[in-house]
Structures are given as C-alpha cells and as structure tokens.
C-alpha cells in the first residue's frame, strides 16, 4: 500500500506541515516543482499530492491555475493550514545581528511591515524552507530567513520571532489530489464542494447565463477565478468552487444550464467541506 504524499518544496516547507496535519500517518516527500509532485501521483509513486491553491493574504497561486486544466488528477479534498511565519537566524544570533532576510516573495510580502520595522533588506528566494536551509549553510549572523517553526527544528536555527506575519490568521488553502476519482456518497445532511473548470461560448452575456442556473437553484458559488487560455488572448477559462454535491438534484439542474452555455466543462472533484469553513 502506498504511504507517500508529495509536496513542492524542501523539508520544513509549509506544504510539508500541511501534509503532516492532514495525513499524520503518511510520509511527506519533497519535490522540486508542483508538476513533479503531481507526476509522482500520476505515476503511482505517491497516493496524494498536497498543492497550495490560495492564501488569505497573498491571494491565488498563479502557477497552479495554469497546471490544473492540464492535469489528469482528481481533487479529493481540501485542507486549510494556518501559516505562522517565523523569523529565523543561525545558532547564537539575535535580532540586532540581522541585516538581511531571505524567503519566498509571498512570505516577504506577508511580513513586509515587520521587515521594514527592523530595517532589514529583503532577498527573494524560491521557497521559505530553502531559505532556512541556505542560512544554516551560510552560518552568518547577519542573514535571517522567514520560514516555518518546523524548518527551525529541522535545520537547528534560532527562533528569533514567532508570528512575524503582518496580519494574524494568515491561512493557505490546499487541494488534495489523487489519481483515483473518489466522490463521497451524497448525504443531504453533509456539506460538500464541487470544483470545476469551464469555458463559455462566444455569445453575449454567456458568463451571466451560464451561472444563472446556480442562482435559480439556490446554489452558493464560493469562488470564481478567470485566466486566459494558453495560446490565446481572446478565450477565457474559469475555475469555480461551488457549494454542493454533484449528485444533488439542484446541482444536476445547474450543471445542465452551465453546460448549455459552455464549450467545455470539466469536473475536478466533489469532496467534503473542510471544518475550517464551519469555523469561519
């Protein structure tokens, strides 16, 4: 039985923490790119991939929206992971020693005000945990990194300041991807989300008409993202997260209307709503 779950980044990444939170019995495997993580699942080398979709502070992860239409995987769940940014330094260092701070551009943006308060120079890197690994190897007290508490433990770094983010409650939403299509049996007493992508027909008010079926059937549209179809400046594709199960009668009627006004509709998956949504 496969026991691996793939994620993009290096050991100590927030995606690894998400893997541990959602699947404590699985073994997280670091991959260089999102595509590599997805490929591990497609090739049967991992049971799931934990892929970040959006962050409450920095917005959507643009690259994922370009990869989703091409993937053969299915969305079988979602996970919300609180992001607690930590300011890290090499062993023996103190806040007053720092002159530079390295991290992923999104993490730097999420800690921008606190970085300014300390008068530090930001250095953009490919990922957060990779920055922690680099300052460990550099062993220079003037260099710090913004990464997870897990990264500080893995690379034996000083935890100079926890909750270094500007806005508390920063959270990242992840898709859990599987090679197998897993749709839970419909229970009208449970909360579900259906994720899909679609491209509307080239007619006036096509987007308005295609989404009208959700309104008339009392279905809540949780998220709608648009992005250009690769190789075209005219065609637009949409990603939607919709509250409801694909097998519910009202969802079936709404999807019929969507399909009528669309040239393509691809169901990415139907899965249980994460408990984080109930709390918020």
Per the structure block, which two tokens stand in for 67?
A: 């990869």
Do 75 and 94 sit in the same domain of this protein? no
| Residue 207 placed within a domain | yes
Q: For the segment 58-100, what is each residue's pLDDT rounded down to a tens digit?
A: 788 888 888 888 889 999 999 999 999 999 999 999 999 999 9
DSSP string, 30-71: EESSHHHHHHHHHTTS-SEEEEEEEETTTEE-HHHHHHGGG-
The reported pLDDT for the residue numbered 61 is 85
| Residue 221 placed within a domain | yes
Residues with Cβ within 8 Å of residue 43, at least 6 apart in sequence: none
The reported pLDDT for the residue numbered 138 is 95
Q: Where are the alpha helices (DSSP H) in 139-274?
A: 149-154, 206-216, 249-260
Per the structure block, which two tokens stand in for 114?
A: 């606190």
Distance, CA of 174 to CA of 103 (rounded, Å): 20
Do 219 and 231 sit in the same domain of this protein? yes
| Residue 187 placed within a domain | no
Supply the pTM of this predicted model: 0.89
By three-state DSSP, how is residue 192 classified? strand
Which one, of 119, 150, 125, lies nearest residue 138 by Cα?
Answer: 125
Per the structure block, which two tokens stand in for 155?
A: 């690379």
- The alpha carbon torsion through 141, 143, 147, 153 (nearest 10 deg) reads -20
- Report the number of distinct structural domains present in the chain: 3
Distance, CA of 174 to CA of 12 (rounded, Å): 17
| Residue 186 placed within a domain | no
| Residue 70 placed within a domain | yes
Exactly one of 174, 175, 198, 261 is catalytic; name it: 174
Average pLDDT, whole number, for the chain? 92
Known active-site residue 236: no
The reported pLDDT for the residue numbered 55 is 86
Exactly one of 57, 172, 194, 270 is catalytic; name it: 172
Residues with Cβ within 8 Å of residue 75, at least 6 apart in sequence: 175, 176, 177, 195, 268, 269, 271
Provide the pairing of β-strand 100-103 with 121-124.
parallel
Distance, CA of 198 to CA of 20 (rounded, Å): 33
| Residue 166 placed within a domain | no
Do 96 and 107 sit in the same domain of this protein? yes
Provide the pairing of β-strand 86-89 with 143-147.
antiparallel
First to last CA, the chain: 36
SS (H, E, C) 87-123: EEECCCCCHHHCCEEEECHHHHHHCHHHHHHHCCEEE
> Range of 74's domain?
4-83+171-178
| Residue 183 placed within a domain | no
CATH of the domain at 136: 3.40.190.10
- pLDDT < 70 positions in the chain: 1, 229-235, 280
Q: For the segment 204-232, what is each residue's pLDDT rounded down to a tens digit?
A: 888 999 999 999 999 999 999 988 766 55
Known active-site residue 23: no
**At 198, which helix (H) or strand (E)?**
strand 192-200
Count of beta carbons in the 10 Å neighbourhood of residue 76? 21
> For residue 1, what are the CA distances in angstroms to 45, 46, 164, 242?
11, 10, 40, 33
């Amino acid at each position: 039985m496969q026991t691996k779950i793939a994620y993009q980044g290096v050991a100590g990444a927030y995606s690894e923490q998400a893997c541990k939170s959602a699947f404590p019995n699985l073994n997280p495997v670091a991959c260089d790119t999102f595509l590599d993580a997805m490929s591990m699942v497609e090739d049967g080398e991992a049971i799931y991939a934990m892929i970040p979709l959006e962050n409450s502070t920095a917005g959507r992860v643009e690259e994922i929206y370009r990869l989703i239409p091409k993937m053969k995987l299915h969305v079988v769940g979602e996970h919300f992971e609180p992001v607690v940014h930590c300011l890290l330094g090499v062993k023996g260092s103190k806040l007053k020693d720092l002159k530079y701070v390295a991290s992923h551009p999104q993490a730097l943006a999420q800690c921008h005000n606190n970085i300014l308060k300390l008068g530090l120079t930001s250095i953009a890197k490919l990922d957060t945990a990779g920055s922690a690994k680099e300052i460990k190897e550099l062993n220079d007290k003037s260099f710090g990194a913004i990464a997870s508490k897990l990264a500080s433990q893995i690379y034996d770094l000083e935890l100079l300041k926890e909750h270094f983010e500007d806005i508390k409650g920063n959270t990242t939403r992840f898709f859990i991807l599987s090679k197998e299509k897993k749709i839970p049996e419909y229970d009208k007493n449970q909360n579900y989300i259906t994720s899909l992508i679609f491209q509307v027909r080239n007619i006036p008010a096509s987007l308005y008409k295609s989404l009208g079926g959700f309104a008339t059937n009392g279905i809540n549209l949780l998220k709608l993202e648009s992005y250009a179809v690769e190789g075209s400046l005219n065609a637009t594709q949409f990603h939607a997260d919709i509250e409801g199960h694909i097998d519910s009668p009202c969802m079936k009627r709404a999807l019929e209307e969507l399909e009528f006004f669309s040239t393509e509709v691809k169901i990415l998956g139907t899965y249980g709503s994460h408990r984080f949504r109930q709390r918020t």
